[in-house]
């Protein structure tokens, strides 16, 4: 199965159902009054963790996710049906970001965890809500609120406890295949894994953890070269990094230089990867130059514990597994959010400047444009089919302060004001 770990899709929550204008008309009920029911809530777009999934392949061919609209209200004050939520199954470790701003909407790490990615619109109110002492028979009802609509970037970041890093062909895939039942692709020539592999590792003393064989790094990966961020994205969740070095240097590379280049790439990535404990594995110690290279490495880095291994014959790996399990027992999880991001584990109370409900733009020649989330939502929920509807919408605009804002901007009597592609004449 092809491994897909990043997909961009368009999602749209359901629109709320329209409220209706109706009156109670029964033989023995004089002056029955307004009885138009409310519209139903639209359906949300919800992402849910499915532990049976390991890739975002399903979303690769589902470019749009649209939830059901709410039902319209009915007579006798009956409520319209709520729209059905659309649930999108994703693998554990999925992150959903706003494609426009890059802000993290949801981080799905627990089995069965759900997150509303696009909120449904509420249903419009029926005319019985607008009955008053001054208007006992209102002819007005609301349309349903539009659901949220946005483009999102869906990313899969593997939930591994320990991640294997190193240049291509240093023996990472072989190490994983020896210590677990994972069967990554292995080649005798210079070869790099192009998709991550996971394996459950059993330590001889009974402890266990998940190890990931991650795609090989190259110099410049933190700037996106090679597999670049495709690699680094998957190590963000790992609590322990196992740095595998080809100490035999059979291909002519310098093990010390390789070690420094990989650590430089990890340090330059945005999620503080060098803060994680690192285990250094000197692999291919059966080769001719390995002992001499290891001696040079220890001379330059005398304070680093180096584990000597020959993965192909399962030599020296138990010590690596014990050390990894010991570190995992005392190493907490590292958040994948930047310091400026807020992790959604509770309620955060903070001051946020209120966003303007509308903006006024002078287009010249007596033409004005009013836009903004607040006025557009109000317009879409308003009916303008009669004089009463138009007067009610005018009162809403006055209450929002649009009239005053237009006057202050220089709007004159008779100028044309456009709202949601509909033209109105400004009257003093």
Binding-site members are 166-173, 191-195, 213-216, 283-286, 310-312
Report d(CA 281, CA 309) in Å as an integer.
Answer: 7
Report the binding-site residues for GTP.
166-173, 191-195, 213-216, 283-286, 310-312
Strands 64-66 and 94-98 come out as unpaired
Q: Which residues are annotated as a binding site for Mg(2+)?
A: 173, 193
Tokens of 338: 């930047």
């Amino acid at each position: 199965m092809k491994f897909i770990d990043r997909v961009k899709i368009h999602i749209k929550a359901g629109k709320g159902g329209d409220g209706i204008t109706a009156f109670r008309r029964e033989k023995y009920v004089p002056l029955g009054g307004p009885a138009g029911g409310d519209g139903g809530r639209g359906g949300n777009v919800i992402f849910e963790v499915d532990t049976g999934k390991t890739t975002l392949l399903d979303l690769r061919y589902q470019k749009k996710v649209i939830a059901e609209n709410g039902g319209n209200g009915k007579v006798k004050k009956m409520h319209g049906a709520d729209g059905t939520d659309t649930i999108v199954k994703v693998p554990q470790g999925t992150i959903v970001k706003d494609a426009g701003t890059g802000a993290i909407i949801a981080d799905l790490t627990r089995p069965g965890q759900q997150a509303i990615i696009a909120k449904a619109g509420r249903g419009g109110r029926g005319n019985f809500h607008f009955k008053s002492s001054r208007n006992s028979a209102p002819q007005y009802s609301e349309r349903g609120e539009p659901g949220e609509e946005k483009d999102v970037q869906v990313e899969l970041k593997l939930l591994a406890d320990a991640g294997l890093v190193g240049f291509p062909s240093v023996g990472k895939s072989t190490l994983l295949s020896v210590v677990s039942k994972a069967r990554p692709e292995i080649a005798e020539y210079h070869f790099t894994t192009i998709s991550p592999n996971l394996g459950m590792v059993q330590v001889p003393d009974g402890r266990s953890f998940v190890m990931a064989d991650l795609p090989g790094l190259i110099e410049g990966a933190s700037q996106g070269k090679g597999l670049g961020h495709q690699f680094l994205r998957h190590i963000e969740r790992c609590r322990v990094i196992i740095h595998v070095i080809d100490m035999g240097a059979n291909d002519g590379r310098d093990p010390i230089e390789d070690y420094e280049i990989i650590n430089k790439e990890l340090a330059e990535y945005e999620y503080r990867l060098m803060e994680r404990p690192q285990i250094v594995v000197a692999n291919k110690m059966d080769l001719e130059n390995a002992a001499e290279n290891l001696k040079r490495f220890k001379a330059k880095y005398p304070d680093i514990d180096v584990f000597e291994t020959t993965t192909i014959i399962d030599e020296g790996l138990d010590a690596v597994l014990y050390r990894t399990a010991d570190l995992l027992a005392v190493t907490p999880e590292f958040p994948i959010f930047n310091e400026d991001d807020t992790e959604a584990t509770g309620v955060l109370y903070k001051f946020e400047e209120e966003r303007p409900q509308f903006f006024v733009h002078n287009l010249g020649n007596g033409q004005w444009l009013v836009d903004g989330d607040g006025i557009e939502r109000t317009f879409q929920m308003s009916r303008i089919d009669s004089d009463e509807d138009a007067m009610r919408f005018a009162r809403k605009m006055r209450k929002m302060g649009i009239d005053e804002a237009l006057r202050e901007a220089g709007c004159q009597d008779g100028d044309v004001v456009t709202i949601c592609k509909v033209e109105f004449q400004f009257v003093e």
